[in-house]
Chain A
Amino acid sequence: EIVLTQSPATLSLSPGEGATLSCRASQSVRHYLAWYQQKPGQAPRLLIYDSSKRATGIPARFSGSGSGTDFTLTISSLEPEDFALYYCQQRTSYPLTFGQGTRLEIK
């Protein structure tokens, strides 16, 4: 099973700042990594798939990069609605696995 480790666990930033979230895989997942955003009481929303491709309707301030074992989700300038939980997920091999999440909170 591929283990995904996200860091930091919590990130405290202010609106307008940039955010960098990391996801590290226990073995190579090539570029088959996705990022999701989850707000309280809501289902996750797909932001990025295949490491760097934005899902439909996702603002351009969200970008993803990386390959192999190290991946990054970057939010260029935080909007108030971006403060949420973020999860990464790999689809290289079964079982599909998720990271433990990064909480992005308002400083």
Chain B
Amino acid sequence: QITLKESGPTLVKPTQTLTLTCTFSGFSFSTSEVGVGWIRQPPGKALEWLALIFWDGEKRYSPSLKSRLTISKDTFKNVVVLTVTNMDPVDTGTYYCAHRRGGGSDFDYWGQGILVTVSS
């Protein structure tokens, strides 16, 4: 059974760095084709893909946010971490981590999401 859960601060100040952790079970980065992505959703708005990390360490980022994003993994701890620098109120939203479906970069298992508010 695959599960994912996001954790981190729910309130950050403008210009601060956000660090989110995705802790998962039921799969492993030791297996080829495995990937974990981050997707966010501002309140009342559409989904926006942010980043994806693969079992072999390859990383992909949204071009519009690439300069502010870093994704990393710890294979032994079953954790994926996303950092977003220079947070702004427009970055407010629910951040999801999700399991990449084997064979394609869509997402078949999602965490519950964490609502992050950027406010002074």
Could you tell me which A residues sit within 8 Å of B by CB distance? Answer: 1, 32, 34, 36, 43-46, 49-50, 55-56, 87, 89, 91, 94-101
Contact with A along B76-117 (1 / 0, CB 8 A): 000000000000000000001010010011111011110000
B47 near A98: Cβ-Cβ < 8 Å: yes
- Chain B residues near A (Cβ < 8 Å): 37, 39, 46-49, 52, 60-64, 96, 98, 101, 104-108, 110-113
Q: A43-B113, A44-B96, A55-B108 are in contact. List 9 more A-B contacts (CB 8 A).
A: A1-B63, A43-B111, A49-B106, A50-B104, A87-B46, A87-B47, A91-B105, A96-B105, A98-B47
Q: Within the complex, what minimum Cβ distance (angstroms) separates A94 from chain B?
A: 5
Contact A43 to B46, CB < 8 A, known contacts A91-B106, A94-B60, A96-B105: no
Bound together, the chains give a CA A35 to CA B101 distance in angstroms of 13
Q: Which residue of A lies closest to B96 (CB)?
A: A43
B49, B96, B101, B112: the one within 8 Å of A96 (CB): B49
In the bound complex, residues from chain B placing their C-beta under 8 Å from that of A55 are 108
- Chain A nearest CB from B44 CB (Å) reads 10
Chain B residues contacting A96 (CB-CB under 8 Å) are 37, 49, 52, 105
> Can you identify 7 A-B contacts, CB atoms within 8 angstroms?
A43-B96, A43-B111, A43-B112, A44-B96, A95-B60, A98-B39, A101-B46
- Assembly CA distance A29 to B107 (angstroms): 17
Given A43-B96, A43-B111, A91 contacting B104 (CB threshold 8 A): yes
Q: Please give, as numbers and ranges, the residues of chain A lying within 8 Å of B61 by CB-CB distance.
A: 95
Looking at the assembled complex, report how far the CB atom of A20 sits from the nearest CB atom of chain B, in whole angstroms.
20
- Among B47, B104, B112, B113, max chain A CB count under 10 A is at B47
Which residues of chain A have C-beta atoms less than 8 A from B106's C-beta?
34, 46, 49, 89, 91
